[in-house]
Structures are given as structure tokens and as C-alpha cells.
Amino acid sequence: MDNLLSLNFWRSTTWLQQIAALFTIAAIPYAFFRLVIYKARHKISFQPKETYQEVTLLDHPLQPQSYWLQLIIKNRGFEMSKNAEAYISQIWKKDKFGSFVKVEKFRAPVKLKWSHEAAIFPIDILPRNSRRLDVCFMCQGENILHLMSEGFPSGTIKNELEFGKYVFEIVVVSQNSLRPARFLFSINCDEEWKNLKGASYIRSFIITKKPARSFIIYN
């Protein structure tokens, strides 16, 4: 068949064939927009000015002050993100030699709770809008890092960690998202509950697929 852009094609074909050709040409950018740009796409970010929260923990027997780390999940697509869920998929901890090793008892992904929701369940995220995700918190007077995930009494998966330096891999998926969104979250906590700190993306993961001895952190 002659090239669609050549004059010879348009002179030698019927008007029905020309209309069909125009529809074919128009369908390509439409399909790209509908299947790539229009679909729900998540961006995960840590914004220190917005994602540190100090609140009174009302469901705790002593109602202590608590310090929280959250992430911002934005739907960058033009359609509703349906049944969005977030997970911690892997955890590494820095050992005494300065290397990061996987937490032994963390053996499978756990779901996280969306901020301002009563329990852990999927939510919808409006197009071009964001939702907060609760990741972890520490309470005043405790040396425990609490994960905002479901508890597992068997102990094979923990939702409480001792203080130290960690890297969490956060994964967000939804029923109609283009692909899973992934984020590497560096967390540093010690005996002082208000010293809980988070940091965004770790360059070393791109090459090694695991935490390097030292982190190069950038936004």
C-alpha cells in the first residue's frame, strides 16, 4: 500500500478508504492518551513540611503524644484511581558494620492504612488529587517504631520494630493503575521519640537493587 502521507495514496483511493485511513491515523494518539496518559498513575513523595505529624494517641491506654511519618500519594492520571492499596514490601536495617540487611522476620508484604480512615482498606483517589498514607509512628516514653499495618500475632511478620536506621520499600497499586508505584523510604529513629526522621529516594538502589553502605539521598 502506498504511504498514507503521499499524494498518490489520496488520489488513487475512494473516499471510504480515505475516511478509514484518517480514523486509523487519529486512533494512534488517542490510544496512547487513553492507555498511558489518561490512566491512573501514582506518584509517591515525602514532604517534610507536610508529612510529620504530632498528635495525641487517643486509642492508647495512657494517651501519650505520638510522632508520625506519612507519605503523599498523588493520582497523576485523568481517571479515578479505584481501590488503591499501599504496602510495605521489603524492610532493611543498618547493622553494626554499616551495611543494610533485610529484617529477618519480615517475610511478606503488609498493607498500610490511609490517613484519616478508621481501618485498613482500599480507597479511591480522585484524578489529579492526593491522599496521605500513614507509614509509622513513635510514642512518647517508648522505644518502639510502630508500623501502621495489620498485626500478625504469629510473629512471622512484625508491625513493631526496635529503634535504628531502616529502609522501607513502599508499593502503591490500584485496580486500574498503569503500573505499581514504588518508593524507597529511609527512616531513622532512636530512643527519643521526636527524633524520628524520614528521607526520600536513595540513589544507590538503582544500581545495586539493595541499600548501599552509605546513602546518596536526593529528591
pLDDT digits (tens, 9 = 90+) for 38-94: 789 999 999 888 888 888 877 767 778 899 999 999 999 989 999 999 999 889 998
CA distance 64 to 148: 17
How do residues 145-201 score in pLDDT, each as one tens digit? 999 987 654 445 568 888 899 999 999 999 999 889 999 999 999 888 889 999 885
Please provide residue 153's backbone torsions phi and psi, each rounded to the nearest 5 degrees: -65, -15
Q: Residue 125's pLDDT band (boundaries 50, 70, 90)?
A: very high
Alpha-carbon distance 49 to 186, whole Å? 16
Q: Strand pairing partners for 73?
A: 44, 131
Q: Pick 101 or 207 by higher pLDDT.
A: 101
